[in-house]
Amino acid sequence: MFIRRLGISVAGAAGLVAAMGVTAPLQADTCPQSTTCPTTVTFTVTAEDGLSITVPGPTPAVNIGDSAPGGQISGQLGSVTVTDQRAALTATWVASVIAATGGFTTGTGTAPETIPNADVDYWSGTATATSGAPAAAFAPGQANAAAAQSLDTSRTAFSKTSGSGDNSCTWNPTLVVHVPTSAVAGTYTGTVNHSVV
């Protein structure tokens, strides 16, 4: 009688454990004397927020200066930062820049009131701050004014060419506007778009 009650008790406990979804401890490993006895350990490193780019604005607008027709306007946009939190084995990326279609306009945007994107140059300069990799892993698209490129097509603003893990890079690009002699007076507005992949 006692044995039968014990059997019922053990079966009931096993059913309760199964119902609760409790996992029994793994069987211990037993090794002979003077040998290595291994325990396998796992853990997870998680990626955070992926790959992103931060730019000045859009409001207030960045004012880079003034000039008469036929002159040149040059000014910095402010800090642009790529943040890579993918925790990737191959943590490379390319940041691109282009001016929005339509150029830079004033008034109603007629031809005399438009400065085309081909007349607006961009140069990234060297990095102002980096993290997570040697500085040599980050490459400016245009290291100096002599390397400036027009924004009528997509350009490489900055890139990371090697390394792994989380990283970031900041630069302060310069815009150079070659004001046409036909330009009319006014405050011109346009958009410079950055992206990263």
Q: In sequence order, which residues have a C-beta less than 8 Å from that of residue 35 and are 6 or more positions away?
A: none
Give, in degrees to the nearest 5, the angle at Cα 15 between 11 and 20. Answer: 150
Calpha distance 71→85 (Å, rounded): 43
pLDDT at 49: 84
Label residue 13 by pLDDT band (50, 70, 90): very low
pLDDT above 90 coverage of the chain, percent: 80
Is residue 51 scored above 50 in pLDDT?
Answer: yes
Contact 102, 114 (CB under 8 A): yes
More confident call, 57 vs 189: 189
Q: pTM surpassing 0.75? A: yes
Structural domains of the chain ordered from first start: 50-196 (2.60.40)
Can you tell me the distance from the alpha carbon of 28 to that of 57, in angstroms, rounded to the nearest whole number?
60
Burial category of 142 from C-beta neighbours within 10 Å (exposed 0-12, middle 13-18, buried 19 and up)? buried
